[in-house]
């Protein structure tokens, strides 16, 4: 057998997000895009800021622009620009040496895990969580330990404390959260710092690609300030709508034991995992455009439109404070049955079991308003039918 057994098993249990996305592609080819309402994939559709496109074009056409190798951690002048930006963003002092440029957040998380995990080490996540975390941890011989959130979809500090073992090496947190849209408040993060005070070798990995996609004047607390034994891994996939360009960075907190050794390991891991370096062109684009953002009000309008439809149907959901997701409680216990019923109306959502949390479905509202409005009649029919059947 050529294909590894593990990969065959992965394929059978692969991401529900991708499964629904691929089903959406099939339906669109059969019925036309305008007749399919696809909320499956968090693929930003808002155009990047015009300056980003202009700078990309200028740099790509400049024959003097470097397209070769550079230090594995990234261009020195880019790391300097990112350090200045991140220092202001997080309210901490970061030097260029505290920044390692990455191939998006996914690449960055793998670099961090490669740098810290030995076979059998445990990495904790908060359920519901982005399903790829499990694959990332297993890439490096680790074991994923999922800890249920509390009733408000926030980290349950007591459960986290109970789940810590002598093999716990890291905890991944994700705020604003995918799939719930929740922003973890400062009180929770301060409590997490208290829980981890006795465990100096547990690293907090904060996955933050949605940090600037927040609404209603919500503030995202600084992980690096509250939890100095942490690294932030982020990308510009969402805030600059550059998901396909795979550009991000790792920022290393000041309180990490043997910080210099960790930085050396991150740089080495970037090379030996095959990333070699973050994309050269996009690093240089960031140098000029890192302070820009897409128009977040567009996502807010879509969120509010979808909320109004769900509210009219009496459906409950996690408070959507950031990102572009609504995590909606299924009107019946079986989230997969609810998802399939919606699929019959050509409405694609992701069942909550795909995030380790049954009984909910995720709507990604990074779609145009016509799609949201067009889904309303079918959603209404499904909810009415399911509620009628359950009486």
CA 289 to chain centre: 21
Per DSSP, the three-state class of 19 is helix
Q: Among residues 341, 289, 385, which one has the least CA distance to residue 55?
A: 289
- What pLDDT score was predicted for residue 7? 78
- What pLDDT score was predicted for residue 365? 97
Domains of the chain, residue spans: 5-48+295-390, 50-289
- DSSP line for 240-301: SS-GGG--EEEEE-TT-TTHHHHHHHHHHHHHHTT--SS-HHHHHHHHHHTT----HHHHHH
- What pLDDT score was predicted for residue 261? 97
CA atoms of 357 and 375, how far apart (whole Å): 24
Q: Which structure tokens are listed for 156?
A: 């349950």
- What pLDDT score was predicted for residue 259? 96
CA atoms of 351 and 20, how far apart (whole Å): 9
- The answer for 200, left when phi > 0, alpha when psi is -120 to 50, beta otherwise, is alpha
CB-based burial label for 78 (10 Å; 0-12, 13-18, 19+):
buried
- What pLDDT score was predicted for residue 14? 62
Residues 6+ apart with CB under 8 A from 73: 79, 99, 100, 101, 266, 267, 270, 277
Give per-residue pLDDT as tens, 101-142: 999 999 999 999 999 999 999 999 999 999 999 999 999 999
In CATH terms, 5-48+295-390 corresponds, of 3.60.21.10, 3.30.1490.20, 3.90.1150.10, 3.50.50.60, to: 3.90.1150.10
CATH class of the domain whose range is 50-289: alpha beta
- What pLDDT score was predicted for residue 1? 75
For every residue of 171-186, which 3-state class applies, written as one string? EEEECCCCCCCCCCCH
Give per-residue pLDDT as tens, 198-221: 999 999 999 999 999 999 999 999
Angle between helices 50-61 and 280-289 (to 10 degrees): 130
- What pLDDT score was predicted for residue 388? 65
Per DSSP, the three-state class of 201 is coil
- What pLDDT score was predicted for residue 140? 97
- What pLDDT score was predicted for residue 63? 66
pLDDT tens for the chain, 391 residues long, are 788 888 777 766 566 677 777 777 787 788 888 889 999 988 999 999 999 999 999 998 876 767 889 999 999 999 999 999 999 999 999 999 999 999 999 999 999 999 999 999 999 999 999 999 999 999 999 999 999 999 999 999 999 999 999 999 999 999 999 999 999 999 999 999 999 999 999 999 999 999 999 999 999 999 999 999 999 999 999 999 999 999 999 999 999 989 999 999 999 999 999 999 999 999 999 999 999 999 999 999 999 999 999 999 999 999 999 999 999 999 999 999 999 999 999 999 999 998 999 999 999 999 999 999 999 999 999 999 887 665 5
Kind and range of the H or E run holding 147 = strand 143-148
């Amino acid at each position: 057998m050529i294909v590894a057994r593990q990969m065959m098993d992965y394929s059978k249990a692969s991401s529900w997000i991708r499964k629904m996305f691929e089903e959406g592609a099939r339906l669109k080819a059969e019925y036309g895009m305008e007749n399919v309402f696809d909320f499956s994939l968090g693929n930003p559709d808002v155009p990047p800021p015009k300056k980003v496109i202009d700078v990309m074009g200028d740099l790509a056409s400049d024959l003097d622009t470097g397209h070769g190798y550079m230090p594995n951690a990234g261009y020195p002048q880019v790391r300097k620009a990112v350090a200045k930006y991140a220092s202001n963003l997080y309210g901490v002092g970061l030097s260029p040496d505290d920044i390692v440029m990455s191939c998006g957040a996914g690449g960055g998380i793998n670099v961090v895990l490669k740098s810290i995990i030995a076979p059998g080490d445990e990495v904790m996540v908060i359920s519901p969580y982005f399903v790829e975390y499990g694959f990332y941890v297993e890439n490096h011989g680790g074991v994923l330990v999922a800890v249920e959130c509390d009733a408000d979809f926030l980290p349950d500090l007591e459960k986290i404390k109970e789940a810590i073992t002598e093999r716990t090496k890291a905890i991944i947190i994700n705020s604003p959260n995918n799939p719930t849209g929740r922003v973890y408040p400062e009180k929770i993060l301060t409590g997490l710092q208290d829980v981890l005070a006795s465990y100096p070798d547990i690293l907090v990995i904060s996955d933050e690609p949605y940090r600037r996609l927040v609404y209603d004047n919500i503030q995202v607390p600084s992980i690096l300030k509250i939890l100095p034994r942490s690294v932030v891994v982020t990308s510009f996939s969402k805030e600059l709508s550059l998901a396909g360009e795979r550009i991000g960075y790792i920022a290393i907190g000041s309180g990490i034991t043997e910080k210099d050794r960790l930085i050396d390991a991150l740089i080495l891991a970037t090379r030996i995992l095959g990333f070699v370096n973050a994309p050269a062109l996009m690093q240089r684009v960031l140098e000029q455009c890192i302070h820009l953002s897409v128009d977040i009000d567009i996502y807010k309008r879509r969120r509010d439109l979808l909320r109004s439809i769900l509210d009219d149907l009496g459906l409950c959901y996690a408070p959507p404070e950031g990102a572009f997701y609504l995590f909606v409680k299924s009107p019946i216990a079986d989230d997969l049955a609810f998802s399939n019923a919606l699929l019959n109306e050509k409405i694609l959502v992701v069942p909550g079991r795909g995030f380790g949390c049954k009984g909910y479905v995720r709507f990604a509202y990074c779609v145009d308003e016509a799609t949201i409005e067009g889904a309303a009649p079918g959603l209404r029919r499904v909810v009415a039918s399911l509620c009628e059947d359950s009486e």
